[in-house]
Amino acid sequence: MTKADPEPTTQTLAETDNYMAWSASEPDGETTYHIELNNITLHFFEEEWREFQKLVRTIFK
């Protein structure tokens, strides 16, 4: 019998009627970030997430 891989722990960061942003703490210690835009989901590693946040802040300055 094989040992089951642990499931990531997820946390909702923000949510509207049509969109959702959430993070997942992976079993290997990595945190990934996800943005669901209707039927499209964007996935980011930590470094990519920081760069995306910087981009969004620049847009709304």
pLDDT tens digits, residue range 1-32?
556 778 999 999 999 999 999 999 999 999 99
> Which domain, by its residues, includes 29?
10-59
Q: Has residue 43 been placed in a domain?
A: yes
Q: Structurally, how many domains does the chain consist of? A: 1
Whether 21 and 10 have beta carbons less than 8 Å apart is answered as: no
Q: Has residue 54 been placed in a domain?
A: yes
Q: Has residue 2 been placed in a domain?
A: no
Contacts of 24 (CB under 8 A, 6+ apart): 8, 9, 10, 11, 31, 32, 33, 34
Q: Has residue 14 been placed in a domain?
A: yes
Sign of CA dihedral 43, 46, 26, 35: negative
pTM of the model: 0.85
Q: Has residue 34 been placed in a domain?
A: yes
Task: Please determine, for residue 53, whether its predicted confidence score (pLDDT) is greater than 90.
Answer: yes
Q: Has residue 5 been placed in a domain?
A: no
pLDDT at 5: 76
Whether 12 and 20 have beta carbons less than 8 Å apart is answered as: yes
